[in-house]
């Protein structure tokens, strides 16, 4: 069987699932596609095949998706992990990293799966109150695609603005500077009525916005239709915030309480994202949830056996052109339904997104 029809059939099954209303969960469906996709990636990604064979795992020898070997994210810094000829790549995303670290790279032969996974998840967890056919107001404390063409976070915001945002949506970071005055002026004009307004960006982009507001002596009390999405960790180039500290500052300066602040968990090596559940399931405790074509396992780092707290492994079917099973460098807490991120593995690099924004803005604080 040729590679193209098999890949086309897999993509078709995934895109059909992603297009279904409310993205229904289906364990049987996930398991079948995961095993089929693993067999395809084993056959067509030589480095991954060697990796699996070294662990004694081959497609014919497993019956459960949990047996699929996850690849450490560090491998993306060393190898082109593609399940298609590299010359067919149409887009490249690179991890943010730091100024002195190697950057992981993921090559995509299509953006269709990434965008089809992104949109229903973004809407479900950030804009569930957006009426059908309506548009939200999205302000991204991030560079535009022209300034950061290889940033998966920027591309995510771009797609969200294109498909869900109104004409007033904008990127607020350009030429190495955050246009804090424009953001402050824009937010100051925010009225009670109107569509949902989403202020989003890396955690340390918010730190720089809050610094500017403090310098100007500005404090706002934004209406309930405003919500915040932050991502990327709380460590900058030369300073650090805890989540509680940052959320407290956001509430003090913007008037947006923690109950309207969503943390996103994502990474360049994944085709899907996870979000705090506060808007999707407001009557339940906060935890990370994702789309039904993803699964998360928390395992003991030494034994690989399931654990309540341990290493966080993600199985993402949207990674059809790469490797579906990813061993992150994060530690997680299994909450039964959903999970929380509780830190980084010892010796792991700090998450690069916030550090890169801090470096891009050129301030040591």
pLDDT in tens, the chain (365 residues): 344 448 999 999 999 999 998 766 799 999 999 999 999 999 999 999 999 999 999 999 999 999 999 999 989 988 899 999 999 999 999 987 655 567 889 999 999 999 999 999 999 999 999 999 999 999 999 999 999 999 999 999 999 999 999 999 999 999 889 999 999 999 999 888 889 999 999 998 999 999 999 999 999 999 999 999 999 875 554 467 889 999 999 999 999 999 999 999 999 999 999 999 999 999 999 999 999 999 999 999 989 999 999 999 999 999 999 999 999 999 999 999 999 999 988 765 554 444 443 444 544 33
d(CA 197, CA 306): 40
Structure tokens at 99: 């100024």
Asked if residues 253 and 218 have their Cβ atoms less than 8 Å apart, the reply is yes
Name the nearest CA neighbour of 170 among 132, 189, 197.
Answer: 197
Q: pLDDT at position 119, please? A: 96
Phi, psi of 263, deg, nearest 5: -95, 130
Q: pLDDT at position 197, please? A: 97
Q: Degrees (nearest 5) of the Cα angle 179, 255, 187?
A: 35
Please state the separation of Cα 65 from the chain's center in Å.
22
Please state the separation of Cα 276 from the chain's center in Å.
12
Please state whether beta strands 274-276 and 197-202 pair in parallel, antiparallel, or not at all (unpaired).
unpaired
Q: pLDDT at position 43, please? A: 95
Q: Degrees (nearest 5) of the Cα angle 26, 51, 317?
A: 20
d(CA 314, CA 325): 6
d(CA 355, CA 99): 9
Q: pLDDT at position 58, please? A: 97
Q: What DSSP state is assigned to residue 240?
A: B
Asked if residues 220 and 255 have their Cβ atoms less than 8 Å apart, the reply is yes
**Which residue shows structure tokens 């982009």?**
205
Q: What DSSP state is assigned to residue 306?
A: B
d(CA 365, CA 1): 58
Q: pLDDT at position 167, please? A: 96
d(CA 112, CA 7): 13
Asked if residues 262 and 229 have their Cβ atoms less than 8 Å apart, the reply is yes
- pTM as predicted: 0.91
């Amino acid at each position: 069987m040729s590679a193209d029809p098999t890949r086309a059939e897999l993509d078709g099954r995934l895109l059909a699932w992603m297009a279904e209303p409310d993205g229904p969960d289906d364990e049987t469906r996930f398991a079948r596609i995961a095993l089929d996709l693993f067999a395809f990636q084993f056959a067509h990604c030589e480095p991954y095949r060697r990796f699996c064979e070294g662990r004694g795992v081959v497609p014919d020898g497993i019956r459960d998706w949990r047996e699929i070997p996850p690849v450490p994210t560090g491998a993306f810094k060393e190898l082109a992990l593609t399940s298609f000829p590299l010359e067919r790549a149409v887009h490249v995303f690179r991890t943010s990293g730091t100024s002195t670290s190697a950057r992981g790279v993921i090559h995509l032969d299509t953006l269709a799966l990434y965008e089809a996974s992104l949109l229903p998840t973004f809407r479900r967890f950030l804009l569930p109150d957006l009426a059908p056919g309506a548009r939200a107001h999205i302000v991204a404390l991030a560079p535009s695609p022209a300034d950061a063409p290889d940033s998966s976070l920027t591309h995510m915001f771009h797609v969200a603005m294109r498909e869900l945002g109104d004409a007033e949506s904008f990127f607020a970071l350009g030429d190495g500077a955050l246009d804090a005055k424009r953001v402050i002026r824009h937010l100051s004009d925010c009225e009670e009525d109107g569509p949902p307004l989403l202020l989003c960006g890396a955690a340390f982009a918010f730190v720089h916005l809050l610094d500017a507001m403090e310098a100007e002596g500005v404090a706002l009390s934004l209406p309930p239709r405003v919500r915040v999405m932050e991502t990327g960790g709380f460590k900058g180039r030369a300073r650090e915030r805890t989540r509680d500290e940052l959320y407290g500052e956001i509430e003090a300066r913007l008037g947006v309480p923690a109950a309207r602040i969503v943390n996103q968990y994502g990474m360049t090596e994944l085709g899907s994202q996870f979000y705090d559940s506060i808007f999707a399931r407001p009557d339940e405790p906060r935890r990370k949830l994702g789309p039904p074509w993803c699964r998360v396992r928390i395992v003991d780092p030494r034994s690989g056996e399931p654990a309540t707290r341990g290493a966080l492994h993600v199985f993402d079917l949207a990674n059809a052109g790469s490797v579906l099973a990813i061993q992150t460098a994060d530690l997680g807490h299994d909450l039964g339904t959903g999970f929380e991120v509780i830190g980084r593995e010892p010796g792991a690099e700090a998450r690069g997104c916030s550090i890169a924004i801090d470096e891009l803005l050129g301030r040591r604080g």
